[in-house]
Amino acid sequence: MSDRVSPQEFRQAAGTADWRVVGDGARANFATGNFAKGAAFVAAIAEAADDADHHPDVDLRYGSVMVRLISHDVGDLSERDIALATHVSEIARGLGIEATPGTVQSIQIAIDVVDLDAVLPFWEAVLAYERRGGEDLADPIAVGPNVWLQQIDAPRTERNTMHVDVYVPRDHVDARLEAALAAGGRVINDTSTPEYWTLADPEGNEVDLAPWRDDSAWKPE
């Protein structure tokens, strides 16, 4: 039996308050203040991950540590991610490290294509990415943004063929939306709210601001 869970189930589980679910899994960012403290935190995470035989992506910077959880064997989140998220947060508290949920996000580049079979190999080659499913490309070392090639029926001449998807936590989307509008952006499509808003900059370049993953009840079969 699969142990997969939905983003909603992950977020409602005890011990996951530090975490938010975005486009590429569950993430938590922690303010460590200095490199040595961050390195000690990462070492403790590594030990916990080895004990659990479940390994997150961890990014160590001078004043912060970013942790991403996903279970590749189920294609999304699992009970193992809940358990490890809880443990990582416990480690952080023990070291006096606080989470910064407002800094969590993930970014995806979306490209409209008419002939997917012709276009996808180009982006796969030029980015040195790997295919993930029929329309998705991912950085094999999980550093760069994911790329989604969106199949369309006919070329769109009235708008750009590329846009950016920005996945943000549900409890921070209002502030991000207000900041974007105050910076000269405008909402050009709100028919899919509250899942996402389509915004444009003053020259018409588009971005989808998407909190839907953070509280979604959907999970892959």
> Do residues 126 and 32 share a domain?
no
Whether 212 and 194 have beta carbons less than 8 Å apart is answered as yes
Q: For residue 221, is it within any domain?
A: no
- Has residue 143 got a pLDDT over 70? yes
Mean pLDDT of 80-103: 98
pTM: 0.93
> Do residues 96 and 113 share a domain?
no
Last residue of a domain, one of 87, 103, 119: 103
> Do residues 112 and 206 share a domain?
yes
Average pLDDT, the chain: 96
- pLDDT at site 89: 99
Last residue of a domain, one of 103, 130, 151: 103
- Residue 194, CA distances (Å) to 6, 72, 105, 173 in order: 18, 28, 17, 10
* Confidence category of residue 141, pLDDT binned at 50, 70, 90: very high
Q: For residue 220, is it within any domain?
A: no
Between 78 and 221, where is the model more confident? 78
Domain containing 84: what range? 4-103
Between 135 and 219, where is the model more confident? 135
Whether 19 and 83 have beta carbons less than 8 Å apart is answered as no
How many other C-beta atoms lie within 10 A of the C-beta of residue 20? 30
